[in-house]
Structure 1
Amino acid sequence: MQKILKRFERVVVLTLLVFMMIAVFVATVEVGVILWQQLKEPPVMLLNVKEMMEVFGFILMVVIGLELLETIKAYLDKKVVHVEVVLLVAVVAVARKIIILDYYEVSPQMLYAVSALVVSLAAGFFIVRRALEPKSEKNTKE
């Protein structure tokens, strides 16, 4: 029974890996198409701030996909979910949201919530990173 579960888990993870590869590829092509469409509209080869934010948002979405792909690969190889990578993906996702946010249409409560989320994720990333440091590096720094 254990062998069947391990095979099933491996098939599911490999399927997710293939799906993520397809999604990242499609998102990359979409970034190219969007950038090309934005650049060919008048004024040609120039982007306004809104268009640049849209392109940056899509580029960061591809980066998030790549990080998730890395997480799935790590799970497949070592059967371990790297908390550090998951936190990094969350930080990039929140950064993407901050970049594409229209500050004129967002309530102050939403801005407070996003800033609390950024601080929490940064603190969590710092704590996890510090905990994962090899002991020899900790001793040499002191």
Structure 2
Amino acid sequence: MISFNYETDFELDNEAQFEDWIERVITSEEKTTGEINYVFCDDDYLLQKNIEFLNHDTLTDIISFDYTMGNLISGDIFISVERVRDNASEYGVAFTEELKRVMAHGVLHYCGYKDKAEDDAALMRSKEEEKIQMFHVER
């Protein structure tokens, strides 16, 4: 089950389309969808989570809490809509494309992909692009 929660005035235009896409992303990695909760928020909200749970006093676009067990993908994914907007502008991409990248990024972590080492980060970016392309493909 995938749910979308809003701690800011932002809302997804088509939750059903995003839900279907995330399920297909998970299936494409030969995993099963458990409970995934997306929480869209602002910078202040996510900064407080970053300080409280990770002891990081920095802004970030995403924080994910992984509850995956085996191949059952579950977790809470907090996304700062403000950060995504700023990053989209900085990288010269549309907001919705950057949002899809970040949404896929959280799930890809749950699927076992890392991004700290250079090689891992390159693979993560490649997987993000692959999954973004899946958004536009009908089931």
Larger of the two Rg values belongs to structure: 1
More strand, by proportion: 2
The alignment's TM-score, normalised by the length of structure 1, stands at 0.31
More helix, by proportion: 1
The alignment's TM-score, normalised by the length of structure 2, stands at 0.31
